[in-house]
Structure 1
Amino acid sequence: MAEQSWIDRLKSSKKTALIQDGKRKIHYLFTDGSEMTEEYDLKTDELIVRRCRQKSTLGAQGQWQVEVGEPLGAPVMSVESDVIKENCSNPVFVRKDTKTSFQWRVRNLPYPKDVFSVSVETSERCIIIKTSNKKYYKKFSIDDLNRSQLPLDSSALTFTHANNTLIVSYKKPKEILTLEQELLKELKKLKGTSDGDVDCKTQ
């Protein structure tokens, strides 16, 4: 039996929708027990957050892994609190996509743009960020391309640097854009419950 494609997995998963705080929140439960949650901006349909978790070999729920959006447990700075100052100068790596690109931001990198090199490593299916001053190194893959088994293309990769933030963009291939449009149509058909009205459908 051929492996199910990603869009088919998404379509066959059990989905629950919730409309809350101007966002469409979707929970996916896949047949293998793994889960995914996504949050979309209701006005722009942009994906703000995606988290995934797998079941362990013993069937226990694993930890949520953040794929898109702010990392879990990121320190929230409040005006009164001076407590969480110690590591706010460490680089923070966050994925925030746009309609047409996958995008990653690395904050707290106060070096000139010519220090950075960003490249595609096709054999390892990943992107590598390096600095010539050896201050930062990051290797990461694009889960969306891996799930759809699409190749990495170095011509789709660009980067800029401004306000101590490195912004790496990877232009979404047409297969991904089509998949996202198809998925969004499906999600908009879901009857989303609103705040306080929890959807408890029986199987």
Structure 2
Amino acid sequence: MAELQSWTEVLKSSRKTALIQGGKRKIHYLFSDGKEMAEEYDLKTDELIMRKWRHKSPLGAQSPWQVEVGEPLVNTPGSQDSDIIRESCSNVAFSLVSTACFQWRIRNLAYQKDVFSVFVEPSERCTSNKKYFKKFCIPDLDRCCLPLESAALSFTHANNTLIVSYKKPKEILTGEQELLKELKELRGTTEGDCKAQ
């Protein structure tokens, strides 16, 4: 619990800016080490839609945003990164967070559910699955130094999408409720208003 409190304290002590726009609560965090985190929450459900991170290089340049939760950012034609060779996007994998669980969705997998085997690898602190051969880490559990539990893991397959879910531990749920309460106090009163802390 001490590790969870320390991560919660890091979030609380960061400089935050809040904005309500397009039905979303957008929060920008600036940490003392120079890292930045941006989150978007649905105003109606309070569910996390997007979380992304960036940091400064040793020479002070900003890194590109790295998506932790939500669909990956898509480079538009003509952007500076459009010429970089990337892995095939035929199987799109992305992470979601609901109020009850962490979830990953891998699209374009036409196999039946019984072809997949999904399991926890405690030594590597990740979940794995056979057939797609992808390992998923749960950064929220790592930041709070919480163990992985096999009983919390489940998966299903529908519409050519493999959906892997990991039920959130009560420590994470409690920390999220406290943080959400603080974030709601940051919100502006009308569309486009923002408030910094």
- Secondary structure of the residue that 1:192 maps to in structure 2? coil
Secondary structure of the structure 1 residue equivalent to 2:74: coil
Question: Structure 2, unaligned stretches of length 5 or more?
Answer: 77-87
Count of aligned positions: 185
Match of 1:64 in 2: 65
Q: What's the counterpart of residue 115 of structure 2?
A: 115
**Superposition RMSD in Å:** 2.3
Contact 1:69 1:95 in 2 (8 A): yes
Mark the CA change 1:122 to 1:46 in structure 2 (over 3 Å): closer, same or farther: same
Shift of the alpha carbon at 1:55? 2.2
Displacement of 1:172: 0.1
Cα distance, 1:196–1:184 mapped onto 2, change above 3 Å: closer
- Between the aligned partners of 1:103 and 1:32, the Cα distance in structure 2 is 29
- Is 1:171 aligned to residue 172 of structure 2? no
- Which 10-residue stretch deviates more, 190-199 or 22-31? 190-199
Alpha-carbon offset, residue 154 of structure 1: 1.0
Any idea what SS the aligned residue of 1:109 has?
Answer: coil
What's 1:190 paired with? Answer: 186
Partner AA of 2:138 in structure 1: I
Q: TM-score, normalised by structure 2?
A: 0.86
CA distance in 2, matches of 1:160, 1:74: 30
Instruction: Give the Cα separation in 2 of the matches to 1:20 and 1:143.
Output: 27
Unmatched 5+ stretches in structure 1 = 76-86
Corresponding residue for 1:80? none
Q: Give the corresponding residue for 1:158.
A: 154
Partner of 2:126: 126
Aligned mates of 2:145, 2:117 — CA distance in 1: 26
Q: Is the 8 A contact 2:103 2:165 kept in 1?
A: yes
Structure of greater Rg: 1
- The answer to whether the aligner puts 1:47 opposite 2:48 as a matched pair is yes
Q: CA deviation at 1:166?
A: 0.3
Shift of 1:114: 1.2
SS of 1:5's equivalent? helix
CA distance in 2, matches of 1:195, 1:56: 34
Which residue is equivalent to 2:79?
Answer: none
